[in-house]
Amino acid sequence: MLELLGRAAKGLGVLAATAALAGTIGTASAQETIKVGILHSLSGTMAISETTLKNVMLMLIEEQNKKGGLLGKKLEAVVVDPASNWPLFAEKARELITKDKVAAVFGCWTSVSRKSVLPVFKELNSILFYPVQYEGEESERNVFYTGAAPNQQAIPAVDYLAKEEKVERWVLAGTDYVYPRTTNKILEAYLKYKGVKPEDIMINYTPFGQSDWQTIVADIKKFGSAGKKTAVVSTINGDANVPFYKELANQGIKATDIPVVAFSVGEEELAGMDTKPLVGHLAAWNYFESIKTPENDAFIKQWQAFMKNPKAVTNDPMEAHYIGFNMWVQAVTKAGTTDPDKVIATLPGTKQPNLTGGVSEMLANHHITKPVYIGEIEENGQFDVVWKTENLIPGEAWSKQLEGSKDLVADWVQLNCGNYDSVKKTCLGSVTK
């Protein structure tokens, strides 16, 4: 009996040792790479825009690994497809952080997808790099906004149209979700401040994937026949842009008649359209592929080689990922760890050359400095830059145009707050660690 107990104890000891060894191997295996989450729609209405961002992240990670990786380890991309399904973004984000143990996530396009994942990143204290223009009115400790705030895209575009195109009537056309609605709220207030009468502003929203534009475009055409120069400011997102521009052409609306300035149409979207009827219409971005700099030439060449396609195009959100990824690499290197708290603290003040010849900086409000360009669509699907800012513009988290926002300050370095009321001298949100 004692002999049997001894054998059993010995067996349990072996099992325990084996389990411990397995645990050690598992831990070592988990630590062999630094995982990077990629959270972009690869199916559904937003795949037309987001698939490219997944691919550029794979390229950037591959390039960094060729340089030796990060902190002596290889980077490993973990790709998920939230499928243009906004609640699924939150589910996939949680999976990336808790199951895959990613060090940071690069992702989202629409603001509704970003809003969906915010509680997850706050709860689990992870890091999101968001690469797309958005409506502002937000500054979160766990998010770094490398796309344009309204003062880096929407406001300059309206100023350009008013000054250079002598526009007096305005159609604010958008997809029905938070980014277009908030951006148009800002623009409506800004236009009225500039003296535009309410009857000279038309606002229209359509669902994601809108395909029938005949009546809406007819309404725009009628609105523009009042004898005043009219323009469309478009926050239409995703694949709905294809039938929208097609219907403009069908109804004979040319850029010389009613110019459209778009905030979500870049080179990637134009690659899937017949661009002939679009010639002369505009887009406002912080980057265009057509801008000639050594940095951009090298990036385009690298991208086309990676995609094995000499006609593969680049666009603004791709550059935003390029800037954000390289800032993250710098911050991790400087901090000597991927620990979120230390990386978040290190990122403000980080500088990274952009692709248009300037140097972008991560600000205390977790936005970056960016140039602003207005581009005119050419027949080849590229943009001819017709206007640009002289300097890089600091991104503003809160809009001066909105009553509830004009007194708010975002500062995660000195104030440790994303919505500090400069009048009441208090942080309106919960101050996180």
Given CATH 3.40.50.1970, say whether it is the number of domain 152-285.
Answer: no
Q: What's the confidence (pLDDT) of residue 273?
A: 83
Quick one: pLDDT at residue 239? 87
Q: Check residue 71 and give its pLDDT.
A: 98
Instruction: Report the CATH architecture of 35-149+292-371.
Output: 3-Layer(aba) Sandwich (3.40)
CA 267 remoteness from chain centre: 15
Q: Residue 296 and residue 381: Cα distance in Å, rounded?
A: 17
* Token pair for 116: 């969906």
The whole-model pTM stands at 0.88
- CA nearest neighbour of 372 among 263, 292, 259, 295: 263
Whole-number Å distance between alpha carbons of 412 and 433: 10
Domain ranges of the chain: 35-149+292-371, 152-285
Contact of 132 with 109, CB cutoff 8 Å: yes
- Three-state SS letters, 398-428: CCCCCCCCCCEEEECCCCCEEEEECCCCEEC
**Encoding tokens for residue 126?**
């992870």
Same fold, 35-149+292-371 and 152-285: yes
- Give the per-residue pLDDT at 30: 47
**What pLDDT was estimated at residue 15?**
39
Would you state the pLDDT for residue 393? 98
- Residue pLDDT, tens place only, 81-122: 999 999 999 999 999 999 999 999 999 999 999 999 999 999
Task: Pick out the chain residues at pLDDT < 50.
Answer: 1-30, 431-433
